[in-house]
Amino acid sequence: MLQPDVTVDDINRLAGQMKEHFTYATLEQGWRYYRKHAVSRVRKAEGRTRIIQADVHETEHYHVRFHMKRVEESKCTCQAGSGCKHKAAVFFQLCEAAGRKPELYLSDFRHAYIELERQRTAARKREAQKAERERRIRASQMTLSQDASAKEWHLFFHRKYARPFTDFQSSVTEITKWVQEQLYRDSEAMPKSIQTLLRMHVQLFLIQQLAERYAQAARGYHSRDISADDAVRPCMEELRELCKQFERSELPTNYREHVRYLGIVAEQIALSEEESPVDRLAVFALVWSEILNHPDELRLARTRLQERLKPLSELRPRLRDAIRVALIHIESLLGYDEQAISHLHALTFYNDPERFLQYADERMDSGDHEKLLMWLKALAPMVSQARHRELLERYWGLWKRSYDAHADMHQELEDLLLVLLPGIYPYLSIFLLEQGRYRDWADIQMVRRISPAEADVAEWRRVADAAPSLLLPLYHQAIERHIEERNRDHYRIAVTLLHELRSMYERSGSLHTWERYMDCLYERYSRLRAFQEELRGGALLT
């Protein structure tokens, strides 16, 4: 390649301009093109102005006119603007033409970039420190006014007390306690009804900050905080107590919007895009159940949530689930149980049945049999899949109360239990015996393939005393199951069960039936020599 007449002084002067007009990333890309020998046909352009022309081959062909006096006036046929990678590649090619090592200039650019970034970082830090000092001065001068709007209350909370929650070196418990004490002290001079309302807003603010703090911790911030549940529990308990104390009738009419704003903040907490270990939806449920449980307010909230749910494809799955859970709560409060239940089966993330058992409890307490059955039916498969003992116990307790209270629903309620097997088996077994339904009890044991050796001793004796004939099929099933295992250990268990079965036939005066059964058993398993030996050893064959 014909090299143009370029001096070291030219290159040094151009290097200073390259630092000023090109980013380091662009220079590094130009270096790669130079190393790939993408620069060709380097020559001096005609004319009085000193310009070097060159071609750069990328995926396409580009033509560069490199100005040797003023780099910023260089031209390239690409659309990248003044500081493009093709011009940078030509610069490194010119370094080679001047007899200099291009890699030394790249290293110089790198050091200059690092130093510039260090200076910028220091400047940003100084600006941040200055802004923080100014923020603290402004925050110290701010006061909480009872005449301000609810939105202004929360703006005050955030400006003055949000920053401490970002301090991961301090205890979250101490931060929460300190912020609450400060804000409660500011509200002491207010009338009781307004004070209670403001303190509910304070608790929502605290829960919101805790949710954000634990969301950040989950993303990798080092923290020694207690669990999210333990941190939020005192706030939830305080909020629940404030809800009980709140008397809406005593509140001045100009504070109605302050009450409505509780729902807006609760919705912001519940439907946040950020994932957090804090149960945000529990806050939403508490506020709407205890404070905003009015048909007009509920209908407005329902419409708002339905509008948010419409662009399904644009919503993140977790947010979509959160909106559905919020809708379930609002619709259940409105009495639209069928619509609420329709959202259950679409849930992916928030499908823990414990969250929804409260709605069945409420229908039980109100005596609404039809809606109670709807909830029990919808929750049965969810409870069965969850396989949590505590959930089963809670569901069973609700089912039992429903069964005792509503005789007209017995058949439908009993059908539900089949969905819950096998988890519900221990409760169902005791229930059937309490009802004296020994045949149904025996049928359940048959379905579950319960062996006499595996059954509860007290239950077995109870049935043996009341209806011994119902145990015979269970023995037959267990004996054949052990024989089919085809090993001596199971043969011995089968022989033990045969002795017990013989005693039962003898007590019932049906030894002839026993003899026919043994003849059939011997004939059916005559080829199992080890089993025959165990029978003889057990004195069951002569």
Q: Which of 103-112, 194-203, 367-376 is predicted most confidently?
A: 194-203
User: For residue 223, what pLDDT is reported?
Assistant: 60
**Percentage with pLDDT > 70 across the chain:** 96
pLDDT, one tens digit per residue, over 12-59 is 888 988 888 888 888 988 899 898 888 988 888 877 778 888 989 878
pLDDT class of 526 with cuts at 50, 70, 90: confident
3-state helix, strand, coil in the chain (%, to 5): 70, 5, 25
**Considering only 119-123, 267-271, 331-335, which range has the smallest mean pLDDT?**
119-123
- Tokens found for residue 197: 């309302």
What is the band of 343 on the pLDDT scale with cuts at 50, 70, 90? Answer: very high
Determine the pLDDT at residue 339: 95
Q: Are 93 and 39 in contact (CB under 8 A)?
A: yes
| Average pLDDT, integer, range 242-246 | 92
CB distance 374 to 337 below 8 Å: yes
pLDDT band at 10 (very low <50, low <70, confident <90, very high): confident
Q: Which pLDDT score, from 0 to 100, does residue 451 have? A: 86
Does position 123 have pLDDT exceeding 90, yes or no? Answer: no
Q: What pLDDT shows up at residue 80?
A: 79
pLDDT digits (tens, 9 = 90+) for 388-438: 888 999 999 999 988 888 888 888 888 888 888 888 888 999 999 999 999
| pLDDT at residue 137 greater than cutoff 70 | no
CA atoms of 529 and 296, how far apart (whole Å): 80
Per-residue confidence at 169, pLDDT binned at 50, 70, 90? confident
100: helix, strand or coil: coil
- Label residue 139 by pLDDT band (50, 70, 90): low
The tokens of 207 are what?
């829960």
Q: How far separated are the first and last CA of the chain, in Å rounded?
A: 110
pLDDT score recorded for residue 142: 65
pLDDT for 52-92, tens place per residue? 889 898 788 899 989 888 888 888 988 777 788 898 999 99
- Lookup: tokens for 445: 């044991």
pLDDT for 180: 95
In the predicted model, is pLDDT for residue 174 greater than 60?
A: yes
- Per-residue pLDDT reduced to its tens digit, 245-301: 998 888 888 899 999 999 999 999 999 878 888 999 999 999 999 999 999 999 999
The mean-pLDDT minimum among 125-134, 157-166, 322-331 falls in 125-134
pLDDT at 492 over 80: yes
Query: How many residues can be counted in the chain?
Result: 542
pLDDT at 233: 95
- Phi first, then psi: give them for residue 42, nearest 5 degrees: -80, 125
pLDDT of residue 7: 85
* Helical spans, DSSP H, in 335-368: 337-344, 357-366
Both tokens assigned to 171: 């205890």
Q: Are strands 51-57 and 75-76 parallel, antiparallel or unpaired?
A: unpaired
322: tokens are 């959160």
Residue 219 phi/psi, 5-degree rounding, is -85, 0
Q: What is the pTM of this model?
A: 0.69
pLDDT at residue 363, rounded to an integer: 92
> Which CA distances in Å does 454 have to 112, 422, 460, 475, 523?
80, 15, 10, 12, 28
